[in-house]
Amino acid sequence: MSGLAFPPEFVWGVATSSFQVEGAKSNPGSTWSRWEDEGHIRGGARSGDACGWWQDPEIDLDRAAELGVTAIRVSLEWSRIEPRAGVVDLKVLERYRRLLVGCREREIEPVVCLHHFSEPTWFADRGGFAAKDAPLLFARHAERVAKAYGDVVDWWLTLNEPNIYAAGGWMFGQFPPGRTRDLRGAARTLGGMVRAHGAAYRALHGVQPHARVGWAQHLVTLEPASSSFRDRRAAATLDQVFNGAFLDSVLDGRVNRALAPWAGDVSGGVGAYDFLGFNTYGRMHIAFDPRRPGDLFTRRIVPEDAVAGDGDSAESHGEPYPQGIGPLTRRLAGRGVPIYVLENGVPDATDRLRPWVVATAAHEVHALIADGVDVRGYFHWSLVDNWEWERGWEQRFGLYALDVETGERTLRPSGELFRTLASRG
């Protein structure tokens, strides 16, 4: 690592999301609180107060400062801010202001995400992003928070991983509303999210003309399971539908033909970005399978010798593959805007893989910069072990380990390594 040198302005950051660090206990109006109440979390686990951020986020902001990061990804719970349609909780707005000011006080720039999987139940019950007026409602929310926090925030993400949100909720049944192999529902949702993203982009710029606005795109390295034509075609098809669906619509106005019958007009989202940012974790091997039409005739294969994180994480995230950062970044290059790695990490409670992930990611990014690619920042997921959606506490992503019972935080060796990178460049 001693041979690496990054530009002084390069952003070293960590990433979090509100529901995952705040939990469901004090937020009954979230779709994920309801999902948890309905018993959809593995083993019947409960998030409670999660990492305690609703009560005291400063405990981890201090830890972020100790790491030497210059930015932190946070999100704002829409379900807390607007618990009922058209009703705004001013106390919640003030609570989030303290969080954002706390970041600034520690010389850490807040990167604020407006929708990180969780949303108000009232919004979901009226059709969610597939509803005709979803872009208007989401833009109204964006305008509200921009007016509330425009003096302390100028770096915004409208949506986190829209492709994961749509796939988890309508194809695999892991996220609310729990549908499976509903390609029509996934397409309608993705189309609505493109329109909502464009509307929110314009709303944010309407309040802050010089704001930096984008979204966090999830990208998986998808490779054919063999050299056969069918496996190569299957991997390419899944790449176009999963990696490319939302991305291609915003970049070029293209809609994949598998989704086109239901996605609707996406022209309102075209070009709505001031930077490009992506999240990436793993590599998956894809085989053609004629018995799986509901999965676009594809099947994911995890090689027996694949490196694996906690539990069955190879099924959810693929094998850890920080080597994919280079090719995925180049995929986004040439658009005339800076690029950021907005999430990268590994579920690894014993920290046997995370130091390798951090070091390999650093080498990948350094090589990109040396080659003239305009990549300006790397955010590690996550600062501290947090609630991992339908898997509860099974997967541990933190640079800091969390004792859920006592709340004690312990810096992992990978955290020490990341601190060296962030503080020394």
Give pLDDT, residue 266.
Answer: 97
DSSP SS3 for 11: strand
Question: Tens digits of per-residue pLDDT, 143-159?
Answer: 999 999 999 999 999 99
> Is the pLDDT at 164 greater than 90, yes or no?
yes
Averaged pLDDT of the chain: 96
> Is the pLDDT at 425 greater than 90, yes or no?
no
Give pLDDT, residue 206.
Answer: 98
Neighbours of 273 (CB within 10 A): 21
Cβ 47 vs Cβ 36: under 8 Å: yes
Give pLDDT, residue 307.
Answer: 87
Cβ 76 vs Cβ 115: under 8 Å: no
Distance, CA of 138 to CA of 92 (rounded, Å):
18
pTM: 0.97
**Residues recorded for the chain:** 425
Neighbours of 161 (CB within 10 A): 22
Question: Tens digits of per-residue pLDDT, 98-155?
Answer: 999 999 999 999 999 999 999 999 999 999 999 999 999 999 999 999 999 999 999 9
Question: Tens digits of per-residue pLDDT, 207-222?
Answer: 999 999 999 999 999 9
Give pLDDT, residue 204.
Answer: 98
DSSP SS3 for 326: helix
Give pLDDT, residue 315.
Answer: 80
Residues forming beta bridges with residue 136, ordered by sequence position: none
Give the confidence band of 2 by pLDDT, cuts at 50, 70, 90: low
Distance, CA of 194 to CA of 135 (rounded, Å):
9
Distance, CA of 273 to CA of 197 (rounded, Å):
9
Question: Tens digits of per-residue pLDDT, 306-359?
Answer: 888 888 887 878 899 999 999 999 999 999 999 999 999 999 999 999 999 999
Give pLDDT, residue 7.
Answer: 95
DSSP SS3 for 34: helix
Give the confidence band of 305 by pLDDT, cuts at 50, 70, 90: confident
Task: Report CA Rg, the chain.
Answer: 20
Give pLDDT, residue 1.
Answer: 63
Give pLDDT, residue 390.
Answer: 97
Give pLDDT, residue 316.
Answer: 79
Cβ 74 vs Cβ 103: under 8 Å: yes
Output the six-digit token pair for 65.
Answer: 């400062």
Distance, CA of 206 to CA of 209 (rounded, Å):
6
- The values of phi and psi at residue 66, to 5°, are -65, -30
pLDDT above 70 coverage of the chain, percent: 100
> Is the pLDDT at 3 greater than 80, yes or no?
no
Compute CA distances 338 → 156, 194, 209, whole Å.
14, 21, 18
> Is the pLDDT at 47 greater than 70, yes or no?
yes
Distance, CA of 406 to CA of 142 (rounded, Å):
36
Q: Mean pLDDT throughout 277-298?
A: 94
Give pLDDT, residue 380.
Answer: 98
Pairing of strands 409-411, 400-402: antiparallel
* List of E strands, 58-154: 71-75, 109-113
Give the orientation angle of helix 183-207 with respect to helix 162-170, to 10 degrees: 150
